[in-house]
Amino acid sequence: MNQEMILILDFGGQYNQLIARRVREHHVYCEIMPWKKSLEEIKAKNPKGIIFTGGPNSVYDDASPKVDSALFALGVPILGICYGCQLMAYTLGGKVGHAAELSEYGKAEVAFDTTSKLLKGIGANEICWMSHTDYVTELPEGFRIIGKTPTCPAAAIECEAKGFYGVQFHPEVNHTPKGSALIKNFLFEVCGCKGDWTMTNYIEDQIKKIREQVGDGKALCALSGGVDSSVVAALVSKAIGKQLTCVFVDHGLMRKNEGDEVEQIFDGYFDSHFVRANAQERFLSKLKGVTDPEQKRKIIGAEFIRVFEDEARKIGKVDYLVQGTIYPDIIESGLGDSAVIKSHHNVGGLPSVVDFEELIEPLRLLFKDEVRQMGLELGLPEYLVYRQPFPGPGLGVRVIGEVTEDKVAILQDADAIFREEIAKAGLDRDINQYFAVITDVRSVGVMGDFRTYDYTIALRGVTTTDFMTADWARIPYEVLDKVSTRIVNEVKHVNRIVYDITSKPPATIEFE
Ligand SMILES: Nc1ncnc2c1ncn2[C@@H]1O[C@H](COP(=O)(O)OP(=O)(O)OP(=O)(O)O)[C@@H](O)[C@H]1O
Ligand SMILES: O=c1[nH]c(=O)c2[nH+]cn([C@@H]3O[C@H](COP(=O)(O)O)[C@@H](O)[C@H]3O)c2[nH]1
Ligand SMILES: NC(=O)CC[C@H](N)C(=O)O
Ligand SMILES: [Mg+2]
């Protein structure tokens, strides 16, 4: 890719993803790189500008992350944020102090010197969001102060001649209303970016790259019908057409009619081969008698791989495996110094087992909303692009206890009614994920003067942006009432409906 790019050096701050989002919002491409990368690797990226992120450490600790001072001699503009600002000042010969009594957390009004390029169009007094204890006490040579608060004398600094800027506050968060404007100024006024990052260009670049990589080889794509794998299949099929085979594994744990729907949509949809592997019985027999959630997940994950291997063998020699890995997947798996959040047991284990030479992951640097945008540009219909996520293990983690054909069928019917009513009420875009769960609890009911002893269905609906934390959705009572009435009337062996009102944490989104 030869378009202009900004490099974000990650020092372990909590908002690093947000910095990347803010930069890309201005149509400038950027990548996050761990601070440990060598000067050579940084130079090889040929960045138009570098942003140092915040971080939990203090620069005067010997063990804290540092940068090669030669970085400052590359002639590339640098913006340091919080720890990044302190690190820049420290490395260039300034001083950084610690003042526990002067810690600033939250909003502060910063008085700016608006003659600075970085502050073009920004007011003389603006609210900015702070989160620090250390601060720059002595500027390096050639620097001047362009922003201060009563407690922080160097809230913003610059060395215009070299294109070095530092801010003690966090311009990337929404609590700094003019933060986006400041980042824009850094990109356009300081680094001279043009803003040439568009999804159309990115798609073209990726298609070219994939063609070069694959040559006349063959590739395989695990296609679930979910957003990420659908978009990646659309992209790769545009690049290499018939050299790609998409394999959809129907494990019998899909939502009602979903297996047929996926087949209907994707068989012949792309210019590639499509295979539906009907593996319902294989999965069910492996899951017989198993009740432990982790064991269920492991069995499903392993069986996925077996099915996949079988399909790969039928196709012959396959050199490449296409995956819909997206940026948050990578960040959550512990890129740089950010903490590992959770490794879900899904089909991520495929490449180590099946013999592929290389992975193709063209979405690995995109955020979910960018993936959706790509899907739309590639012509995928909105209902596919805006689907709610559906976990790889499927209903296997929504049937509590042993998975049986009967319980799966009851759950599919109840879940279909719930989803139908949510859509009818126009709530499907507001609630980020919603589904039914069949609990392993049976209880006594009375229906038509008879005693029943049947299952309890739990409904779950959450609002979330990142799926790492979530709140339970305030679904209107009338909608819940309708769903409840319909399920107990239309689905046999269900006599009780409950609604889950826990957030994550302490609960998780899925029950298992
Ligand atoms: N039933 C399936 N058949 C084939 N591949 C699958 C199946 N379920 C999951 N996968 C593979 O596992 C990957 C991870 O699943 P994941 O649910 O995270 O992504 P997705 O289904 O593509 O998108 P979404 O997050 O919207 O559900 C998928 O991209 C796909 O490659
Ligand atoms: O592809 C997947 N494979 C899995 O094994 C898996 N487990 C949970 N999820 C989805 O991840 C999000 C967070 O789920 P939890 O709060 O239950 O951990 C929610 O969106 C879940 O649906 C999975 N996705
Ligand atoms: N948010 C940050 O980057 C904090 C930097 C440094 N640890 C401080 O306390 O000042
Ligand atoms: Mg999925």
Domain check: are 255 and 336 in the same one?
yes
| Cis preceding-peptide flag for 34 (omega within 30 of 0) | no
Whether 9 is in a domain gets the answer yes
Domain check: are 350 and 493 in the same one?
no
Q: How many CB atoms lie within 10 A of CB 105?
A: 10
Give the ipTM: 0.87
**Residue at which a domain ends, from 190, 208, 236:** 190
Domain check: are 85 and 32 in the same one?
yes
Whether 457 is in a domain gets the answer yes
Q: What's the number of CA atoms in the CB half-sphere (13 Å) around residue 248?
A: 25
Mapping DSSP to helix (H, G, I), strand (E, B) and coil, where does residue 351 land? helix
Domain check: are 323 and 212 in the same one?
yes
Strand-strand pairing, 49-52 and 78-81: parallel
CATH code for the domain of 435 = 3.30.300.10
Domain check: are 349 and 402 in the same one?
no
Q: Would you state the pLDDT for residue 465?
A: 76
Residue nearest to atom 7 of ligand 1 (CA): 224
Whether 504 is in a domain gets the answer no
Total-model pTM: 0.77
Q: What is the mean pLDDT of each run of 10 residues along the chain (512 residues)?
A: 85 86 91 92 96 95 94 97 98 92 86 97 95 94 96 95 97 91 98 92 93 94 93 97 96 96 92 96 97 91 87 87 82 52 46 71 86 95 92 94 98 98 95 97 93 97 83 97 98 98 90 94
Whether 92 is in a domain gets the answer yes
> Does the annotation mark 191 as catalytic?
no
**How many residues are recorded in the chain?**
512
Query: For the range 40-44, what are the long-range contacts, defined as Cβ-Cβ under 8 Å and sequence gap of 24 or more?
Result: 42/7, 42/9, 42/71, 43/74
> Does the annotation mark 251 as catalytic?
no
Q: Would you state the pLDDT for residue 489?
A: 96
**Residue at which a domain ends, from 134, 164, 190:** 190
Domain check: are 344 and 413 in the same one?
no
Q: Is the CB of residue 248 below 6 angstroms from any atom belonging to ligand 1? A: yes
Domain check: are 376 and 402 in the same one?
no
Angstrom distance (rounded) from CA 57 to CA 133: 10
Which ranges in 221-333 belong to alpha helices (H)? 227-240, 258-266, 280-287, 293-315, 327-332
Domain check: are 309 and 238 in the same one?
yes
Q: Is the CB of residue 131 below 6 angstroms from any atom belonging to ligand 3? A: yes
Q: How many CB atoms lie within 10 A of CB 286?
A: 17
Q: Would you state the pLDDT for residue 302?
A: 87
Q: How many CB atoms lie within 10 A of CB 2?
A: 6
Domain check: are 357 and 221 in the same one?
yes
CATH code for the domain of 288 = 3.40.50.620
- Which among 128, 42, 24, 125 has a CA at the least distance from the CA of 85? 128
Whether 213 is in a domain gets the answer yes
Whether 511 is in a domain gets the answer no
Q: Would you state the pLDDT for residue 340?
A: 45
Q: Would you state the pLDDT for residue 342?
A: 41
Q: Is the CB of residue 392 below 6 angstroms from any atom belonging to ligand 2? A: yes
Strand-strand pairing, 433-447 and 273-278: unpaired
Q: Would you state the pLDDT for residue 504?
A: 85
Whether 350 is in a domain gets the answer yes
| From 172, 303, 370, 421, active-site residue | 172
Domain check: are 261 and 323 in the same one?
yes
Q: Would you state the pLDDT for residue 351?
A: 53
**Residue at which a domain ends, from 349, 364, 385:** 385
Alpha carbon separation from 380 to 13, 269, 362 (Å, rounded) = 36, 10, 17
> Containing domain of residue 407, as a range?
398-499
Q: Would you state the pLDDT for residue 11?
A: 95
Q: Would you state the pLDDT for residue 333?
A: 56
Q: Is the CB of residue 389 below 6 angstroms from any atom belonging to ligand 1? A: yes
Ligand 1: centre distance to CA 112 (Å): 49
Domain count, the chain: 3
Domain check: are 224 and 370 in the same one?
yes
Torsion of CA 295, 301, 303, 309, to 10 degrees: -150
Q: Is the CB of residue 226 below 6 angstroms from any atom belonging to ligand 1? A: yes
> Does the annotation mark 82 as catalytic?
yes
Strand-strand pairing, 244-250 and 104-112: unpaired
Of the ligands numbered here, which is closest to the C-alpha atom of 221? 1
Ligand 4: centre distance to CA 226 (Å): 5
Domain check: are 152 and 275 in the same one?
no
Whether 260 is in a domain gets the answer yes
CATH code for the domain of 11 = 3.40.50.880
CA 56 to ligand 3: nearest atom: 7
Sheet of strand 164-167: strand arrangement: 29-34, 5-10, 49-52, 78-81, 164-167, 156-159, 144-148, 104-112, 125-132
Q: 227-240 and 199-214 helices cross at what angle (nearest 10)?
A: 60
Of the ligands numbered here, which is closest to the C-alpha atom of 389? 1
